[in-house]
Structure 1
Amino acid sequence: MNEGQTRVRIPVDERRPLAAYPYVTVHPIRYGDLDPNNHVNNAVIATYMEIGRTEFFAREGLRLTTQGRGISLVHIEIEYHREILYPGFVEIAIGILKVGSASATFDQAVFVDGKRHVSASATTAQVDTVAKRATPWNDEQRARLEALIIR
């Protein structure tokens, strides 16, 4: 956030429901995901978000590593609403909020039994794997990503 900006928190019950997301993947909660408090560790939550983005890009055919390009995370914010307990399954939801010249910003969430437990916003950038810098989406990529923007 820039200086002078204030964060507007959206109450958890006013956020998008699971059905509003264009992509959802389901993963088991593993015993090894737990911390000493017996709930899923915050580092694992970040991994759930990464799984969602990785599977989203793969499903959309945007695995770019063979073309000298890749996807790098440049920003993430995670908000925890409820603890996630073992055993069970998480539903990792993802949708695109905005497409930049070389980036995409995602709305992500983790649901358990249909209830939102975690919210996140993540921005990724397409990078040239040799030059190690952002490289713009081509017209086909941009069109595919923009078609997936959630309103």
Structure 2
Amino acid sequence: MRIPVDERAPLASYPFLTVHPVRYGDLDPNNHVNNAVIGTYLEIGRTEFFDREGIRLTAEGRGISLVHVEIEFHREILYPGSVQIVSGIRRVGASSLTFDQAVFVDGVRHVSGSSTTAQVDKTTGRSTPWNDVQRAKFARLMMP
């Protein structure tokens, strides 16, 4: 079910924020940020989320794989400027995380996104459950 943009979580309610510049190369022929780049912005948000929160466990033979993504476009993003990419966890599964993500410009929501990632064992390629240490980190990164 679609949630009207004015009923979505405000910028301040997201527990994780990163700022990224809008690059000239991000633009399409209409001089706004290309829709494919929006997916990259959300990926930057997830990647920095995992890195800063110490959740990436590649040294332990585990990794993170994207299994689902949804993007809803509300407004064009223009050059020059920067974007505020926000992320929060909506749901923790046995081996998955579902994120609520958004892209804001000057505090105004331009994009809403939802994505699900899974922790995988790099040897078997199969999902592997979160441990108690990981789950404790997730608790403080949940959306209100």
1:48 matched residue in structure 2:
41
2 CA distance for matches of 1:18 and 1:76?
20
- TM-score, length-scaled by structure 2: 0.98
The superposition leaves residues 41-92 of structure 1 with CA deviations (integer Å, 9 ceiling, x where unpaired) of 1111000000000101111111211110000000000000001010000000
Picking from 25, 30, 35, the partner of 2:23 is 30
1 CA distance for matches of 2:40 and 2:80?
17
2:87 matched residue in structure 1:
94
Q: How far off is 1:139 after superposition?
A: 1.2
Q: Decide whether the 8 Å contact of 1:81 with 1:118 is kept in 2.
A: yes
Give the gaps of 5 or more residues in structure 1.
1-7
Give the alignment of 1:1-151 within 5 angstroms: 8-151=1-144
Matched length: 144
The superposition leaves residues 83-135 of structure 1 with CA deviations (integer Å, 9 ceiling, x where unpaired) of 10100000000000000000000000000011000000000000001111100
Give the gaps of 5 or more residues in structure 2.
none
Report the residue type matching 1:141 in the other structure: Q
Point out 4+ residue stretches in structure 1 off by more than 2 angstroms.
none
Q: Decide whether the 8 Å contact of 1:98 with 1:105 is kept in 2.
A: yes
- TM-score, length-scaled by structure 1: 0.93
CA-based RMSD of the aligned residues comes to 0.7
Report the residue type matching 1:31 in the other structure: Y
Q: Decide whether the 8 Å contact of 1:99 with 1:146 is kept in 2.
A: no
Q: How far off is 1:150 after superposition?
A: 1.1
Report the residue type matching 1:37 in the other structure: N
